[in-house]
Structure 1
Amino acid sequence: MNIRKMTEADIPKVQETAESSWREAYEGLIEKDAQDRFLEYAYSSQMLKMRLKRSVFFVAEEEDVVSGFINVTYPNGDRESVLAALYVRPEYQRMGTGEALFRACFDVLEEADVLTLNVEAENEKGTAFYKKHGFVEVERMEETIGEDTFQSILMKKSFLS
Protein backbone atom coordinates (compact mmCIF):
# COMPACT_ATOMS: atom_id res chain seq x y z
CA MET A 1 0.00 0.00 0.00
CA ASN A 2 1.24 3.45 -0.94
CA ILE A 3 -0.03 6.58 0.88
CA ARG A 4 0.51 9.86 -0.95
CA LYS A 5 -0.99 13.30 -1.44
CA MET A 6 -3.91 13.35 -3.84
CA THR A 7 -3.53 15.06 -7.22
CA GLU A 8 -6.14 16.23 -9.73
CA ALA A 9 -5.37 13.13 -11.80
CA ASP A 10 -6.77 11.03 -8.91
CA ILE A 11 -10.22 12.65 -9.01
CA PRO A 12 -12.00 9.91 -11.05
CA LYS A 13 -10.59 7.17 -8.79
CA VAL A 14 -11.49 9.10 -5.63
CA GLN A 15 -15.02 9.52 -6.99
CA GLU A 16 -15.27 5.74 -7.55
CA THR A 17 -13.95 5.05 -4.04
CA ALA A 18 -16.38 7.57 -2.51
CA GLU A 19 -19.31 5.96 -4.29
CA SER A 20 -18.44 2.36 -3.40
CA SER A 21 -17.69 3.30 0.22
CA TRP A 22 -20.85 5.37 0.62
CA ARG A 23 -23.06 2.68 -0.91
CA GLU A 24 -21.69 0.08 1.50
CA ALA A 25 -21.66 2.29 4.60
CA TYR A 26 -25.09 3.84 4.20
CA GLU A 27 -27.18 1.11 2.56
CA GLY A 28 -30.36 0.87 4.58
CA LEU A 29 -29.47 4.01 6.57
CA ILE A 30 -29.75 6.73 3.93
CA GLU A 31 -32.07 6.53 0.91
CA LYS A 32 -30.31 5.98 -2.41
CA ASP A 33 -31.62 9.28 -3.82
CA ALA A 34 -30.10 11.17 -0.88
CA GLN A 35 -26.81 9.28 -1.37
CA ASP A 36 -26.84 10.22 -5.06
CA ARG A 37 -27.41 13.90 -4.27
CA PHE A 38 -24.67 13.95 -1.65
CA LEU A 39 -22.12 12.17 -3.84
CA GLU A 40 -22.92 14.40 -6.81
CA TYR A 41 -22.40 17.50 -4.66
CA ALA A 42 -19.49 16.55 -2.36
CA TYR A 43 -17.50 14.57 -4.92
CA SER A 44 -18.02 16.56 -8.09
CA SER A 45 -14.79 17.31 -9.95
CA GLN A 46 -15.19 21.01 -9.15
CA MET A 47 -15.66 20.37 -5.41
CA LEU A 48 -12.70 17.97 -5.25
CA LYS A 49 -10.45 20.49 -7.02
CA MET A 50 -11.46 23.15 -4.48
CA ARG A 51 -10.90 20.78 -1.55
CA LEU A 52 -7.45 19.87 -2.92
CA LYS A 53 -6.43 23.54 -2.78
CA ARG A 54 -7.88 24.26 0.67
CA SER A 55 -7.20 21.14 2.70
CA VAL A 56 -5.03 18.06 3.25
CA PHE A 57 -6.03 15.16 0.98
CA PHE A 58 -4.25 11.79 0.93
CA VAL A 59 -5.02 8.64 -1.04
CA ALA A 60 -4.12 5.04 -0.31
CA GLU A 61 -3.15 3.17 -3.43
CA GLU A 62 -3.07 -0.57 -4.05
CA GLU A 63 -1.54 -1.21 -7.47
CA ASP A 64 -3.70 1.00 -9.72
CA VAL A 65 -6.68 1.31 -7.33
CA VAL A 66 -7.37 4.15 -4.89
CA SER A 67 -8.34 1.90 -1.98
CA GLY A 68 -9.13 4.80 0.35
CA PHE A 69 -8.73 8.49 1.03
CA ILE A 70 -8.72 11.02 3.84
CA ASN A 71 -9.50 14.73 3.71
CA VAL A 72 -8.75 17.06 6.65
CA THR A 73 -8.84 20.84 6.92
CA TYR A 74 -5.77 22.74 8.06
CA PRO A 75 -5.86 23.91 11.70
CA ASN A 76 -7.88 27.11 12.10
CA GLY A 77 -7.21 29.93 14.58
CA ASP A 78 -8.39 27.69 17.43
CA ARG A 79 -5.90 25.02 16.29
CA GLU A 80 -8.83 22.81 15.37
CA SER A 81 -9.00 20.72 12.20
CA VAL A 82 -11.99 18.94 10.73
CA LEU A 83 -11.97 15.43 9.32
CA ALA A 84 -14.12 16.02 6.24
CA ALA A 85 -13.84 12.47 4.87
CA LEU A 86 -12.24 9.11 5.53
CA TYR A 87 -13.41 6.33 3.25
CA VAL A 88 -11.97 2.93 2.39
CA ARG A 89 -13.36 0.72 -0.37
CA PRO A 90 -15.26 -2.20 1.18
CA GLU A 91 -12.87 -4.82 -0.24
CA TYR A 92 -9.89 -3.05 1.43
CA GLN A 93 -11.43 -2.52 4.87
CA ARG A 94 -9.90 -4.15 7.94
CA MET A 95 -6.47 -4.22 6.25
CA GLY A 96 -4.91 -1.17 7.95
CA THR A 97 -5.76 1.32 5.22
CA GLY A 98 -7.74 3.66 7.50
CA GLU A 99 -4.97 3.56 10.10
CA ALA A 100 -2.31 4.35 7.50
CA LEU A 101 -4.35 7.29 6.21
CA PHE A 102 -4.79 8.61 9.76
CA ARG A 103 -1.02 8.41 10.39
CA ALA A 104 -0.25 10.34 7.19
CA CYS A 105 -2.69 13.08 8.17
CA PHE A 106 -1.54 13.33 11.77
CA ASP A 107 2.02 13.88 10.55
CA VAL A 108 0.85 16.89 8.52
CA LEU A 109 -1.41 18.33 11.23
CA GLU A 110 1.31 18.83 13.83
CA GLU A 111 -0.13 22.21 14.83
CA ALA A 112 -3.65 20.91 15.46
CA ASP A 113 -4.78 20.52 19.05
CA VAL A 114 -8.15 18.97 18.18
CA LEU A 115 -9.60 17.03 15.26
CA THR A 116 -13.40 17.01 14.90
CA LEU A 117 -15.72 15.03 12.65
CA ASN A 118 -19.38 14.33 12.01
CA VAL A 119 -20.51 10.76 11.49
CA GLU A 120 -23.99 9.56 10.59
CA ALA A 121 -25.56 8.43 13.88
CA GLU A 122 -26.54 4.99 12.60
CA ASN A 123 -23.14 4.29 11.02
CA GLU A 124 -22.06 1.88 13.76
CA LYS A 125 -18.98 0.67 11.89
CA GLY A 126 -17.70 4.22 11.37
CA THR A 127 -18.47 5.28 14.94
CA ALA A 128 -16.66 2.23 16.33
CA PHE A 129 -13.62 2.94 14.11
CA TYR A 130 -13.40 6.53 15.34
CA LYS A 131 -13.80 5.54 18.99
CA LYS A 132 -11.02 2.97 18.54
CA HIS A 133 -8.79 5.84 17.37
CA GLY A 134 -9.42 8.09 20.35
CA PHE A 135 -12.43 10.13 19.25
CA VAL A 136 -15.17 10.80 21.81
CA GLU A 137 -18.79 11.72 21.23
CA VAL A 138 -19.48 15.38 21.99
CA GLU A 139 -22.99 15.97 20.70
CA ARG A 140 -25.81 14.52 18.61
CA MET A 141 -27.42 16.82 16.08
CA GLU A 142 -29.26 17.20 12.81
CA GLU A 143 -27.14 18.00 9.80
CA THR A 144 -28.68 19.30 6.57
CA ILE A 145 -26.91 18.88 3.26
CA GLY A 146 -28.90 20.33 0.38
CA GLU A 147 -32.45 19.04 0.78
CA ASP A 148 -31.52 16.10 2.99
CA THR A 149 -31.34 16.02 6.79
CA PHE A 150 -29.24 13.45 8.66
CA GLN A 151 -28.84 12.55 12.31
CA SER A 152 -25.15 13.04 13.08
CA ILE A 153 -22.72 12.63 15.94
CA LEU A 154 -20.05 15.28 16.50
CA MET A 155 -16.86 13.57 17.69
CA LYS A 156 -13.52 15.04 18.78
CA LYS A 157 -10.00 13.82 19.32
CA SER A 158 -7.62 15.93 21.37
CA PHE A 159 -3.88 15.92 20.70
CA LEU A 160 -3.16 17.71 23.96
CA SER A 161 -1.66 15.63 26.76
Structure 2
Amino acid sequence: MFFVRTASERDLQQVRTLLVETWHATYDGIYGAAKVQEITDSWHSPAALKAKLAKKGGEFLVADDGKRIGGMGFAFMAEDMAKTALLRQLYVHPDLQRQGIGRDLFAELESCFPDAEVMRLEVEPKNAAAIAFYEAHGFVEVDRIKNCGVADSGLEAIVMEKPLV
Protein backbone atom coordinates (compact mmCIF):
# COMPACT_ATOMS: atom_id res chain seq x y z
CA MET A 1 0.00 0.00 0.00
CA PHE A 2 1.28 3.43 -0.95
CA PHE A 3 0.93 6.43 1.33
CA VAL A 4 1.04 10.01 0.11
CA ARG A 5 3.42 12.26 1.98
CA THR A 6 5.48 15.40 1.50
CA ALA A 7 8.70 14.74 -0.37
CA SER A 8 12.06 15.37 1.22
CA GLU A 9 15.56 15.77 -0.13
CA ARG A 10 16.30 12.11 0.58
CA ASP A 11 13.56 11.16 -1.94
CA LEU A 12 14.94 13.12 -4.88
CA GLN A 13 17.10 10.38 -6.45
CA GLN A 14 14.19 7.91 -6.37
CA VAL A 15 11.87 10.58 -7.76
CA ARG A 16 14.34 11.29 -10.57
CA THR A 17 14.54 7.57 -11.41
CA LEU A 18 10.74 7.36 -11.40
CA LEU A 19 10.46 10.37 -13.72
CA VAL A 20 13.09 9.12 -16.17
CA GLU A 21 11.50 5.66 -16.39
CA THR A 22 7.98 7.05 -16.67
CA TRP A 23 8.94 9.61 -19.30
CA HIS A 24 10.69 7.00 -21.44
CA ALA A 25 7.73 4.62 -21.16
CA THR A 26 5.24 7.37 -22.00
CA TYR A 27 7.03 9.62 -24.47
CA ASP A 28 9.69 7.65 -26.39
CA GLY A 29 7.06 6.76 -28.99
CA ILE A 30 6.02 10.41 -29.32
CA TYR A 31 9.30 12.36 -29.12
CA GLY A 32 11.96 9.66 -29.52
CA ALA A 33 14.30 8.36 -26.82
CA ALA A 34 17.01 10.99 -27.44
CA LYS A 35 14.57 13.91 -27.00
CA VAL A 36 13.09 12.30 -23.89
CA GLN A 37 16.58 11.89 -22.43
CA GLU A 38 17.33 15.55 -23.19
CA ILE A 39 14.11 16.64 -21.46
CA THR A 40 14.59 14.44 -18.40
CA ASP A 41 18.22 15.55 -18.05
CA SER A 42 16.98 19.14 -17.89
CA TRP A 43 13.51 19.13 -16.35
CA HIS A 44 14.16 16.26 -13.91
CA SER A 45 17.77 16.95 -12.98
CA PRO A 46 18.68 16.77 -9.30
CA ALA A 47 18.99 20.58 -9.26
CA ALA A 48 15.56 21.06 -10.88
CA LEU A 49 13.94 18.68 -8.40
CA LYS A 50 15.67 20.35 -5.47
CA ALA A 51 14.36 23.73 -6.67
CA LYS A 52 10.82 22.35 -6.75
CA LEU A 53 11.24 21.00 -3.24
CA ALA A 54 12.24 24.47 -2.06
CA LYS A 55 9.61 26.42 -4.03
CA LYS A 56 7.67 28.74 -1.76
CA GLY A 57 3.97 27.91 -1.87
CA GLY A 58 4.63 24.63 -3.63
CA GLU A 59 3.53 21.13 -2.70
CA PHE A 60 5.87 18.28 -3.69
CA LEU A 61 4.36 14.91 -2.81
CA VAL A 62 5.39 11.29 -3.18
CA ALA A 63 3.52 8.00 -2.93
CA ASP A 64 5.71 5.74 -0.78
CA ASP A 65 5.21 2.13 0.30
CA GLY A 66 8.27 2.07 2.55
CA LYS A 67 10.39 0.38 -0.11
CA ARG A 68 10.00 2.57 -3.17
CA ILE A 69 8.51 5.78 -4.51
CA GLY A 70 5.65 4.74 -6.79
CA GLY A 71 4.42 8.17 -7.80
CA MET A 72 4.97 11.88 -7.38
CA GLY A 73 3.11 15.14 -7.78
CA PHE A 74 4.08 18.79 -7.75
CA ALA A 75 1.87 21.89 -7.82
CA PHE A 76 2.08 25.51 -6.72
CA MET A 77 0.09 28.73 -6.71
CA ALA A 78 0.51 30.74 -9.90
CA GLU A 79 2.18 34.09 -9.49
CA ASP A 80 0.58 35.62 -12.59
CA MET A 81 -2.94 34.14 -12.44
CA ALA A 82 -5.21 34.97 -9.54
CA LYS A 83 -6.44 32.10 -7.39
CA THR A 84 -4.94 29.46 -9.71
CA ALA A 85 -2.96 26.41 -8.65
CA LEU A 86 -0.68 25.00 -11.34
CA LEU A 87 -0.32 21.22 -11.45
CA ARG A 88 3.11 20.77 -13.03
CA GLN A 89 3.79 17.09 -12.43
CA LEU A 90 1.73 14.02 -11.65
CA TYR A 91 3.46 10.76 -12.51
CA VAL A 92 3.06 7.14 -11.46
CA HIS A 93 5.57 4.46 -12.33
CA PRO A 94 4.34 2.47 -15.38
CA ASP A 95 4.26 -0.79 -13.37
CA LEU A 96 1.94 0.78 -10.80
CA GLN A 97 -0.52 2.73 -12.95
CA ARG A 98 -4.26 2.20 -12.61
CA GLN A 99 -3.99 1.22 -8.95
CA GLY A 100 -5.22 4.50 -7.43
CA ILE A 101 -1.83 6.09 -6.75
CA GLY A 102 -2.41 8.96 -9.20
CA ARG A 103 -5.90 9.48 -7.79
CA ASP A 104 -4.53 9.65 -4.23
CA LEU A 105 -1.73 12.05 -5.18
CA PHE A 106 -4.16 14.25 -7.08
CA ALA A 107 -6.70 14.28 -4.23
CA GLU A 108 -4.02 15.48 -1.82
CA LEU A 109 -2.71 18.14 -4.21
CA GLU A 110 -6.24 19.36 -4.86
CA SER A 111 -6.71 20.02 -1.14
CA CYS A 112 -3.37 21.81 -0.60
CA PHE A 113 -4.41 25.18 -2.01
CA PRO A 114 -7.35 26.58 -0.03
CA ASP A 115 -7.11 29.98 -1.75
CA ALA A 116 -7.22 28.50 -5.26
CA GLU A 117 -10.44 28.57 -7.24
CA VAL A 118 -8.97 26.81 -10.29
CA MET A 119 -6.36 24.13 -10.91
CA ARG A 120 -4.60 24.33 -14.29
CA LEU A 121 -2.26 21.93 -16.10
CA GLU A 122 -0.62 21.24 -19.45
CA VAL A 123 -0.71 17.78 -21.07
CA GLU A 124 0.74 16.31 -24.25
CA PRO A 125 -2.07 15.99 -26.86
CA LYS A 126 -1.02 12.42 -27.73
CA ASN A 127 -1.03 11.26 -24.10
CA ALA A 128 -4.55 9.83 -24.23
CA ALA A 129 -4.27 8.05 -20.87
CA ALA A 130 -3.35 11.27 -19.04
CA ILE A 131 -6.08 13.24 -20.79
CA ALA A 132 -8.65 10.60 -19.84
CA PHE A 133 -7.41 10.67 -16.22
CA TYR A 134 -7.73 14.44 -16.01
CA GLU A 135 -11.16 14.48 -17.67
CA ALA A 136 -12.34 11.83 -15.20
CA HIS A 137 -11.22 14.17 -12.42
CA GLY A 138 -13.17 17.17 -13.70
CA PHE A 139 -10.69 18.93 -16.00
CA VAL A 140 -11.73 20.42 -19.34
CA GLU A 141 -9.65 21.75 -22.21
CA VAL A 142 -9.38 25.54 -22.22
CA ASP A 143 -6.50 26.20 -24.62
CA ARG A 144 -3.68 24.75 -26.72
CA ILE A 145 -0.12 26.03 -26.61
CA LYS A 146 3.06 25.51 -28.64
CA ASN A 147 5.61 25.55 -25.79
CA CYS A 148 4.81 23.22 -22.90
CA GLY A 149 6.84 23.48 -19.73
CA VAL A 150 9.37 26.12 -20.70
CA ALA A 151 9.63 28.90 -23.28
CA ASP A 152 10.70 27.70 -26.73
CA SER A 153 10.36 24.00 -25.80
CA GLY A 154 8.55 23.36 -29.08
CA LEU A 155 6.34 20.85 -27.28
CA GLU A 156 2.64 21.30 -27.92
CA ALA A 157 0.22 20.94 -25.04
CA ILE A 158 -3.43 20.98 -24.19
CA VAL A 159 -4.17 23.36 -21.30
CA MET A 160 -6.84 21.99 -18.97
CA GLU A 161 -8.56 23.52 -15.96
CA LYS A 162 -10.78 22.39 -13.15
CA PRO A 163 -12.77 24.58 -10.77
CA LEU A 164 -11.87 23.94 -7.14
CA VAL A 165 -14.78 25.73 -5.48
Shorter-chain TM-score tier: over 0.9
Structure 2 counterpart of 1:24, one-letter code: A
Equivalent residue number for residue 138 of structure 2: 134
Paired-residue identity, %: 28
TM-score (norm 1): 0.93
Instruction: Determine which structure has the larger strand proportion and give its number.
Output: 1
Whether contact under 8 Å (2:62, 2:71) holds in the other structure is yes
Q: 1:63-120 deviations in whole A, cap 9, x for unaligned?
A: 3110000000135460101111000001110000001001111221121111111101
Q: Structure 2, unaligned stretches of length 5 or more?
A: none
Task: Check if 1:64 corresponds to 2:32.
Answer: no
Q: 1:23-61 deviations in whole A, cap 9, x for unaligned?
A: 111131112111111111111111111111112100001
Whether contact under 8 Å (1:75, 1:111) holds in the other structure is no
Runs of 4+ in 1 over 2 A off after TM superposition: 74-77, 144-148
The aligned length equals 160
TM-score (norm 2): 0.91
Q: Structure 1, unaligned stretches of length 5 or more?
A: none
Which of 88, 94, 97 is the matching residue for 1:90? 94
Task: Indicate the RMSD between aligned Cα atoms, in angstroms.
Answer: 1.6
